[in-house]
Every structure is written in structure tokens, then in C-alpha cells.
Structure 1
């Protein structure tokens, strides 16, 4: 039996003065087949990335899977990240992040970065890993297949379980021959 749910959607793009420039919400309710939506969204391509950032003497990283090119001039990428992650203060203060394309078979990196660990709770997640710093100073893993170094141009706090970062790519490299 297909799963279904109720979703509230916006009707139109009018702006309510109390919403600080956000679209006005209407109480339009739509029944949706969430299983069908999920099966279509599974067709959207994705890869495994470690998103990283650094500020002062602190650095951290986490696995992200929703990275998408979103503009050509300037070259921009969007990254969807679960809220309440340890990177938020580092990205906010440095206004930068890096994306490290990870080999799906690299269990060490997958395990090390697959959680919401604050640098002071679990130590430096990059200890025992060779890293480089490119233009922004965000950590780039030497064992990554490829890397993108980005300056934050927008941060969107979505009314969802994720937030969205838009970064301008300032440096990019294929690091390993398999990438």
C-alpha cells in the first residue's frame, strides 16, 4: 500500500510584511503519495562528499550527499545539509567550505565523517588524515577523488530538516586518477 501524507504548500508568491520578505503561506493542503515522490527523487544523481570548513584553529567535516551545480557564471554549487551540524559556526565565521568527493569504498573516511561531531567533542576529525589547504583554507582530503573550494555566497535556512549553502567555486582539482 503506498504511503501518503499531507503537505502544506504555498499558493502564490505574495509577500506578507510580517514574513521578512519570505513568501506568504497559504493554508492549501494537498494529499501526496510520499512513496511515489521518493521513488522519483531517488533518480536524482548524487555522490558522497565530505563537506569541510575551518576557522582559527578549529576544523570539522561531515558527509553530505546533495551537492548540485547551480550556475555557470560564476560557477556556483548548492549543498543541502542537515540542520544542527558542527560545521555551521565554522562556515558562518570563515564564509567558506570545501567539498571532497569520496570514493564509496573508503570505509575509513565514511565512518569518520558520518556523524554530527563537534571538533571539541571528538577531537579533530582530520587527525591521521593527510590534508591540504587551498584558496579558502578549508581542509581538502589528499585521498579524495576530487575537491571543490568554495566561498559562501548565500545561506538559506529552509523550513525543513535541511539548510542550503550556495558556494562560489574558487578552486577545483581532480586529486586521484580514479576521480
Structure 2
């Protein structure tokens, strides 16, 4: 991609979320920023995942994912979800199962439990369109969500 275009894209503002999945081998989680609501009725969200990520294949196979909305204070702590051994990502955190059995961090703002309805290839990512099956607030009050501004200003997903 032309560098000038990337500089503009780096100025886009996104939330930083933890997407959790369940595979036959266990739980996995990854940091994601390309997440958005895309329908109110039925309630749906869109999630873009790079095709080379393990979670990509796990979402394809399971047909489910859970979006954890992270508090601003978690910027450093969530780096544990970038470790090489994906089976150990949840060792250092406290979580509870969502209604579909996916990890929900005990200190997240809230979560959305989703089933995949559509997939759209978009180049090096797949756009997973998920219908929200359940969700809820975990922390309430004035907790602000984590954004790219809190996460070093830029999150390209390739670092």
C-alpha cells in the first residue's frame, strides 16, 4: 500500500477489543480493532480478521465468537493475548463463560456473544457478520473503552 494512504488510515479511530473463540483444543483470544455494529434488527456486528490468524480458522470452524469490550486501563495487560502459545493466553486472567461457553473477561466493560451468519472475503481479511445471541454489561459506570488512541495511537494488527 502506498505510504501516504497508510498515514491517513493510521488516523482512523477504532476501539480495541478482545475477540474470544473456542476450538476443540481450547480457548483462544486475539486483539481486534475492526469491529462495528452493522444491523439493529436483527442485531448484528461485523468483525474483520486477517486470514493468516489462528482465530480466523477457529471462528470459521466453530461459527461463534465473543467480543469483549475492554476498559481503557487494560492497554498493557492485554498484550498477553499476543504471546506465541495461544493455549496459555488465559492463564493470567480471570474470566467466566458466556452463555455459549466463550471466555468473557471478568474486568471487561461488556460482551457480545455472536454466531456467524455471513462471511465476506475482503482481501487479506475476512469480514465475519455475526448475529448477537446474548450480551451484557460487566463493569458499569464511567469506565471508558480502550481505543487506538490509548494503545499507542495506531493499531494495524501486523505488529
Larger Rg: 1 or 2?
1
Question: Unaligned 5+ residue runs, structure 1?
Answer: 6-33
Q: Check the 8 A contact 1:136/1:151 in 2, yes or no.
A: no
Match of 2:99 among 111, 125, 135: 135
Q: Check the 8 A contact 2:50/2:56 in 1, yes or no.
A: no
How many residues are paired up?
142
User: Partner of 2:59: helix, strand, or coil?
Assistant: helix
- Taking structure 2 as the reference length, what is the TM-score of the superposition? 0.77
Whole-angstrom CA distance in 2 between matches of 1:114 and 1:157: 24
> Over residues 117-170 of structure 1, what are the superposed CA-to-partner deviations in whole Å (9 max), with x where a residue is unaligned?
4xxx343311131112122222111111111110011122222x2221111111
Whole-angstrom CA distance in 2 between matches of 1:37 and 1:131: 36
Whole-angstrom CA distance in 2 between matches of 1:40 and 1:82: 17
Please state how far the C-alpha of 1:75 moved relative to its aligned partner. 0.5
Match of 2:80 among 95, 109, 112: 112
Aligned pairs for 1:38-77 within 5 A: 38-39=7-8, 42-43=11-12, 45-77=13-45
Q: Check the 8 A contact 2:111/2:137 in 1, yes or no.
A: yes
User: Partner of 2:127: helix, strand, or coil?
Assistant: strand
- Taking structure 1 as the reference length, what is the TM-score of the superposition? 0.69
Return closer, same or farther for 1:73/1:110 CA change in 2, 3 Å cut-off: same
The residue number in structure 2 matching 1:103 is: 71
Whole-angstrom CA distance in 2 between matches of 1:77 and 1:145: 17
Ranked by relative contact order (alpha carbons within 8 Å, sequence separation 6 or more), the top structure is 2
Match of 1:92 among 56, 60, 67: 60
Question: Unaligned 5+ residue runs, structure 2?
Answer: 145-159
